[in-house]
Amino acid sequence: MPDAPLGVDIEREYIIMKSLRLTHASLLPALLCLSVVMAPVHADELKIGVATQMQKQKSAHSGKLPEPGLAQDSVQREFGEPVRVRGPVGDPAITIWEYPGYSVFFENNTVIHTVLKSG
């Protein structure tokens, strides 16, 4: 391939250098924005295990509560008919049985959590 005239090479180099300067100039605002986005965020976090919550609820509640893992028929036999039933909703099916003073949450037909009502 024959060599290009000297003026064409200089013009190509000028265009390349100009585009590189634009690239560097446009990187600075992007890097500044990225540094703001990547800045560390601090928040307070409170972790209480489910077992700890159950122990606190049991000590605050004078009677026995349904334990995780119990089947619906066992809960009904031991604790009676619920005052209100909500659900099932979703997949897996979540159902809530409400009793005076507490609610029992089921996934499919198994207790996953019992929650005391406040007040």
Amino acid 118: pLDDT: 76
Structure tokens at 60: 């605050």
Between β-strands 102-107 and 94-99, what pairing exists: parallel, antiparallel or unpaired? antiparallel
CA–CA gap between residue 103 and residue 87 (Å, rounded): 13
Higher-confidence position of 114 and 43: 114
Residue 43 has pLDDT above 90, yes or no: no
**DSSP structural state of residue 41:** -
Other Cβ atoms less than 10 A from the Cβ of 12: the count is: 11
Amino acid 10: pLDDT: 66
Q: pTM higher than 0.95, yes or no?
A: no
Residue 60 has pLDDT above 60, yes or no: no
pLDDT-derived band at 19 (thresholds 50, 70, 90) equals: low
Amino acid 48: pLDDT: 66
Residue 81 has pLDDT above 70, yes or no: yes
Residue 94 has pLDDT above 80, yes or no: yes
Amino acid 73: pLDDT: 96
